[in-house]
Amino acid sequence: MTVRLTGRAIRRDAGLYGYERALRRRGLAPVAGVDEAGRGACAGPLVAAAVVLEREIPGLADSKLLTPARRDRCYDLVLERAGDVAVVVVSAADCDRMGVQRANVEALRRALARLSVRPGYVLTDGFPVDGLGVPGLAMWKGDRVAASIAAASVVAKVTRDRIMADLHEEHPVYDFATHKGYATAAHEAALRQHGPCREHRHSYANVKKAAAALTTQEHGDHEH
């Protein structure tokens, strides 16, 4: 089933909720938005969220555009006001095993499958998710233009950030609480000094390089 959503039709609905309104007018509710957090990180899990909005969320925006305090507030409001929310966490080891693209798509599918109601339409950020059994639209920068995707981005990011804060307590030398597992200069320096831990994605080039360098260094130390 293909549904045409023209730019002109959407522009008549000003604001972040225009796509959801247009789809509801076409009888395609409930509308689910899905997004993920952690795809580009080299440590920690990938987290996917699916959200069905029934009411507007004050202050909602793409999670990357919100301060941590506003993001936490939006997270609480989404959980309180959304019609349905589902979250899937994919471990670093599973990202290595499946590859991040496959892990990403599978996580989005699983998040949608966990919703208590079957969506009438699905909005995804960036790329389409096949095999859903319902019509959908992949949107460039969808977390900035569709409320349900923005809500999913907030849920996914806050969930993942809290996981990374917990992992920081277990592995403080990497400072996961600050960079959340992304390859910052400080994270790369910690990787070079300490090598990767089990929460790193060992299939990633920078993690492989750090592990190999540490192994070489330890081998040289043993020889001396």
Per residue in 66-96, pLDDT (tens digit) is 999 999 999 999 999 999 999 999 999 999 9
Query: Distance between CA 110 and CA 92 in Å, rounded?
Result: 17
Query: Distance between CA 155 and CA 220 in Å, rounded?
Result: 46
Domain boundary among 124, 141, 169: 169
Same domain membership, residue 205 and residue 182 = yes
- Per-residue pLDDT at 133: 83
By CB neighbour count within 10 A (0-12 exposed, 13-18 middle, 19+ buried), where does 124 fall? buried
pTM of the complete model: 0.90
Would the pLDDT of 4 be above 80?
Answer: no
- Per-residue pLDDT at 223: 52
Same domain membership, residue 140 and residue 197 = no
- Per-residue pLDDT at 41: 98
Residue 32 belongs to a domain:
yes
Q: How many domains does the chain have?
A: 2
Domain boundary among 123, 153, 169: 169
Question: Which region holds residue 32: left if phi is over 0, alpha if psi is between -120 and 50, else beta?
Answer: beta
Same domain membership, residue 112 and residue 23 = yes
Same domain membership, residue 122 and residue 184 = no
pLDDT digits (tens, 9 = 90+) for 37-52: 999 999 999 999 999 9
Residue 65 belongs to a domain:
yes
Query: Distance between CA 31 and CA 115 in Å, rounded?
Result: 11
Q: Give 2's pLDDT tier (boundaries 50, 70, 90).
A: very low
Same domain membership, residue 202 and residue 96 = no
Would the pLDDT of 11 be above 70?
Answer: no
Share of the chain above pLDDT 70, in %: 89
Residue 184 belongs to a domain:
yes
210: its two tokens: 């750090």
Same domain membership, residue 124 and residue 19 = yes
Same domain membership, residue 215 and residue 135 = no
pLDDT digits (tens, 9 = 90+) for 88-132: 999 999 999 999 999 999 999 999 999 999 999 999 998 888 888
Q: Which residues contact 174 (CB under 8 A, 6 or more apart)?
A: 43, 168, 187, 190, 191, 194, 197
The CATH number assigned to the domain holding 121 equals 3.30.420.10
Domain boundary among 146, 169, 192: 169
Residue 1 belongs to a domain:
no
Same domain membership, residue 96 and residue 23 = yes
Same domain membership, residue 88 and residue 54 = yes
Same domain membership, residue 202 and residue 107 = no
Strand partners, 93: none
pLDDT digits (tens, 9 = 90+) for 188-224: 999 999 999 999 999 999 999 999 987 666 545 545 4
Residue 2 belongs to a domain:
no
* Average of per-residue pLDDT values in the chain: 90
Share of the chain above pLDDT 90, in %: 81
Same domain membership, residue 147 and residue 188 = no
Strand order in the sheet with 121-125: 84-90, 46-52, 31-37, 121-125, 136-139
Would the pLDDT of 10 be above 90?
Answer: no
- Per-residue pLDDT at 7: 44
Would the pLDDT of 18 be above 90?
Answer: yes
Same domain membership, residue 63 and residue 50 = yes
Q: For residues 83 and 126, is the Cβ–Cβ distance under 8 A?
A: no
Residue 189 belongs to a domain:
yes
Would the pLDDT of 162 be above 90?
Answer: yes
Which residue range is the domain that position 215 belongs to? 170-223
